[in-house]
Structures are given as C-alpha cells and as structure tokens.
C-alpha cells in the first residue's frame, strides 16, 4: 500500500476528528496500549497436547481446513507469525491442556507450573504476557458435571485441578510482573430437564469458594457464564444469573463471552450493569451465528456496541479483552488476524466516538442531536486512522495481510 497516501488520508481524518474535539494521535496511543489476549486454541481447533482427542463439553470446532497446528512448536510458530501481522503488544491465553508435557501423560490433578516453564520462557522472548484457563472438558472424568458433581471423588478431582491451575497462573503472573488472568469455565449441565437445579448450583458455588479461598497475589480469577452447550441444552449450572450473583457477592471477575446469551439479547447492555457490582470484566469476543457457534469475530454491530459501551462507561481499565472463537473451516491464521483486527477496529471506533458531546446532548435532553451525531460518527473516516495505526506500527495495512498469510500457508501450514 502506498505510504504517502495513507499518511495524507490520516492527516485529513485527523482534522475531521479534531473538529469534534477528538485527538486521533492520542486515540492511537491508547489503542496501542490495549492488549488483546490471543486464544491459543484457534491454532489447533481446541485439541491441545494431552490426548489429542476430539473436543467434548458441549463445544465444537467445525471444518477440516488443512494446516492445523499439531504440536507445541507449530502452535508457537503460528502465534509468532500472527504477532508480525498485528499492531500493539498482545497477550497469549493458554488452556491447561496446552502444557509442555514432554511426551508424558500428565493428568489434570497432577499438573504443575513446571509444565508451563517453556511457555513462560517463550512468551518472555516473544514479549507476550500469559493468561490461563483451567480445562474441564475433553477428559474421561468430564461427563456432564465436573465442579458441580455430587460424586465426591469426581468433584474433588476437578477442585484439585482448578486449584493447581490457579497456582500455575500465579507463577506466570509473578514471572511476567503483571497479573495472569485465569478463566474458569465449566460446561456442567444437563441435556434434559433436571429436577435438582438448585442443588447442583449449590455444589458449584461451594466448589468455587474452596478453589478461590487460596490468596494468590499474582493472578486474577474469572468465571464464565453460559447459556447452553451441545448435548446439554436444558440446563447450565453456571448460567448468567448464577455467575452474576456469584461474582457480585464474592467480588470475582465476570467473563462475558459474546456467544453465551440469547441471540436477540443485547450483550453490550450487560456491561453497565455488571460493572456496578463486579470488580472487572473479562471479555471473550466471539461471533455466534444462530447459536454459540464461535465464528470468527468481525466488525459487526454487536462487537461495536460492546466496545462503545465500555468506553462510554469509562471502563476500559476494568475490562480485559480476549478472543474466543475456533473456526476450522478457513485458514486458521487468517481467522486469527480477521478477528483480532476486527476487535481493534471496534475498539478504535469506540475511542473515536465524540462521547463528550453525546453526553452533553443527552444531559440537555437533545434527543435529535444525540441520534444525529451518533449516526454521523459512524461514517467518519476511522478507516484512515486504522490504516495509519498499522503503518505506524510497521505491520501490513488493509488487505495486505492476505498475501502474507497466503505465503505462510504455502511455506508452512500446507506442508503439515
Ligand atoms: C465455551 C467457552 C470457553 C471455551 C474456551 C475453549 O463455551 O466459551 O471459554 O470456548 O475455554
Ligand atoms: Zn468463552
């Protein structure tokens, strides 16, 4: 792409935004400082290195596009390449099943920080900070109930696993000098209508209380709500209401996955309610198509509204941004870049919104003016700002990354 035309387009855009009181240079600096937690599981369809078996736990990666990362080196190779196509410093979100187990079988109640030693070293070299996830799916003891299981042995197994994961996250956080955000998502639920709904929720709350009791200063825990899983359609123990109540009473971070609500629900509206009662939010930015399908994130209204709401609520510092989708039907690296860049585009548009003026109109009950400015803001030249943001950070501008990903496919992933 022609550098001088990007620069002159930016100069015009800068002027246009300045007329509305927005300093685009400052906005670019802010965007550069917002890390996006890259989900390692996009590289390999959530398989991991424990048993390399198919997914269970009500989630599904569909498609069989060639080039899936098959081992730890390939996952790292792909993520390192992804980094070259993204502006800003990002984070890497690991699941427990992606440990460096050295070819041995390490069960989930045996996992230790040592299994993530090579990840910590690699991440430091790559300037990536780590986030972490306990993993209760794709295991013979997963069944339909893990932390909410009335069977004391199974429940104890998963409590032990999750406690160990928190300790691993704490070591990661200490090493990187920045808290590691550890997400707890359990698929626990039921295909058909249970009669003891409250009972399982009591067990889950008690398991979480036991898990979170250990003070670990270098990590933060978050818990993820969900509507339903495949094969678990009638009941989810960790529903939105359950976790909204849990997080509010225990002061725990709520993980908001944009695929985990009713399809017509306005997920962005939850932000301003949850933020009143929970300390922070962890976002799993995704794209549900008819269900929690985990399609690649794009710049659609849902994602735009989510980030606009966070910026309008002055809550950027209370939101951790992560991605969560797994599309196995297209080039996986391409899926990574489309989704991460779309997230950055949405963040950018939210940051470029003339929110001061809009608030002013609202306070003065000027409904027409507010709506008019919101509409006009949509077609301001944010694309010129996004192009310049990428140029400034020495990464491909616009569709230039397509060619580079094709080249990587030709040289690397097509040979797998
Ligand atoms: C599942 C949850 C969960 C997973 C990852 C792999 O519905 O969204 O976050 O996608 O942990
Ligand atoms: Zn999620």
Kindly tell me the sign of the dihedral angle through the C-alpha atoms of 63, 67, 73, 78. Answer: negative
Whether the per-residue pLDDT at 51 is higher than 90: the answer is: no
284 is catalytic: yes
Nearest CA to ligand 1 atom 5: 324
Q: Kindly state the percentage of the chain with pLDDT values over 70.
A: 100
Which residue among 44, 131, 324, 387 is the active-site one? 324
Instruction: Tell me what pLDDT residue 54 has.
Output: 78
> How far, in Å, CA of 173 to CA of 169, rounded?
6
Residues lining ligand 2 (ion), CB within 5 A? 257, 284, 324
Q: What is the pLDDT of residues 273-321, one digit of tens each?
A: 999 999 999 999 999 999 999 999 999 999 999 999 999 999 999 999 9
Ligand 2 centroid vs 356 CA: distance in angstroms? Answer: 33
295 is catalytic: no
Q: Kindly state the percentage of the chain with pLDDT values over 90.
A: 98
Whether the per-residue pLDDT at 52 is higher than 80: the answer is: no
Mean local confidence (pLDDT), 231-259:
98
Residue from 43, 324, 327, 339 whose mutation best tests the ligand 1 pocket (most atoms within 8 A of CB): 324
Instruction: Tell me what pLDDT residue 258 has.
Output: 98
Mean local confidence (pLDDT), 4-11:
98
Instruction: Tell me what pLDDT residue 1 has.
Output: 72
**Lowest-pLDDT range, 41-45, 52-56, 103-107, 141-145?**
52-56
Instruction: Tell me what pLDDT residue 94 has.
Output: 98
Q: What is the pLDDT of residues 98-139, one digit of tens each?
A: 999 999 999 999 999 999 999 999 999 999 999 999 999 999
Q: Helices (DSSP H) in 85-215: which residue ranges?
A: 117-125, 152-176, 197-212
Select from 80, 96, 85 the least CA-distant residue to 131: 96
Nearest CA to ligand 1 atom 7: 59
Give the fold, CATH level 3, of 36-354: TIM Barrel (3.20.20)
- Residues with Cβ within 8 Å of 264's Cβ and at least 6 positions away in sequence, in order, are none
Kindly tell me the sign of the dihedral angle through the C-alpha atoms of 281, 138, 130, 24. Answer: negative
Whether the per-residue pLDDT at 41 is higher than 80: the answer is: yes
Whether the per-residue pLDDT at 170 is higher than 80: the answer is: yes
Average pLDDT of the chain, as a whole number: 97
Q: Which residues line ligand 1 (CB under 6 A)?
A: 41, 46, 59, 133, 185, 224, 226, 257, 284, 292, 324
Residue from 42, 182, 224, 225 whose mutation best tests the ligand 1 pocket (most atoms within 8 A of CB): 224
Residue from 40, 93, 257, 321 whose mutation best tests the ligand 1 pocket (most atoms within 8 A of CB): 257
């Amino acid at each position: 792409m022609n550098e001088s035309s990007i620069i002159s387009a930016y100069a015009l855009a800068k002027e246009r935004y300045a007329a509305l009181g927005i300093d685009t240079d400052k906005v670019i600096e802010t965007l550069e400082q917002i890390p996006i937690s890259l989900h390692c599981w996009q590289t390999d369809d959530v398989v991991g290195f424990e048993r390399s078996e198919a997914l269970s736990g009500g989630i599904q990666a569909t498609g069989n596009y060639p080039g899936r990362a098959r081992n730890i080196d390939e996952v790292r190779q792909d993520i390192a390449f992804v980094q070259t196509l993204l502006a800003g410093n990002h984070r890497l979100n690991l699941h427990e099943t992606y440990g460096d187990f050295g070819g041995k079988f390490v069960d989930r109640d045996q996992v230790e920080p040592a299994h993530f030693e090579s990840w910590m070293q690699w991440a430091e070299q790559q300037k990536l900070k780590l986030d972490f996830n306990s993993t209760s799916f794709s295991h013979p003891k997963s069944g339909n109930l893990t932390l909410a299981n009335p069977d004391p042995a199974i429940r104890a197994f998963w409590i032990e696993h999750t406690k160990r994961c928190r300790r691993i996250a704490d070591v990661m956080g200490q090493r990187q000098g920045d808290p590691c955000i550890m997400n707890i998502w359990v698929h626990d639920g039921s295909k058909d209508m249970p009669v003891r709904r409250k009972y399982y929720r009591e067990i889950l709350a008690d398991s979480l209380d036991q898990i979170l009791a250990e003070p670990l200063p270098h990590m933060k825990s978050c818990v993820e709500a969900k509507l339903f899983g495949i094969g678990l359609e009638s009941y989810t123990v960790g529903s939105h209401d359950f976790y909204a109540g849990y997080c509010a009473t225990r002061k725990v971070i709520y993980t908001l996955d944009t695929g985990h609500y009713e399809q017509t629900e306005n997920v962005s509206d939850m932000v301003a309610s949850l933020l009143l009662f929970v300390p922070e939010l962890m976002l799993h930015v995704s794209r549900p198509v008819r269900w929690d399908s985990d399609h690649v994130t794009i710049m659609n209204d849902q994602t735009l509204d989510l980030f606009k709401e966070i910026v309008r609520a002055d809550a950027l510092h209370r939101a951790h941004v992560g991605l969560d989708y797994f599309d196995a039907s297209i080039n996986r690296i391409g899926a990574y870049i489309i989704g991460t860049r779309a997230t950055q585009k949405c963040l950018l548009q939210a940051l470029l919104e003339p929110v001061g003026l809009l608030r002013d109109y609202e306070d003065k009950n000027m409904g027409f003016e507010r709506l008019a400015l919101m509409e006009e803001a949509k077609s301001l030249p944010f694309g010129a700002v996004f192009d310049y943001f990428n140029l400034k950070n020495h990464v491909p501008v616009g569709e230039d990354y397509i060619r580079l990903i094709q080249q990587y496919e030709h040289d690397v992933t097509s040979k797998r």
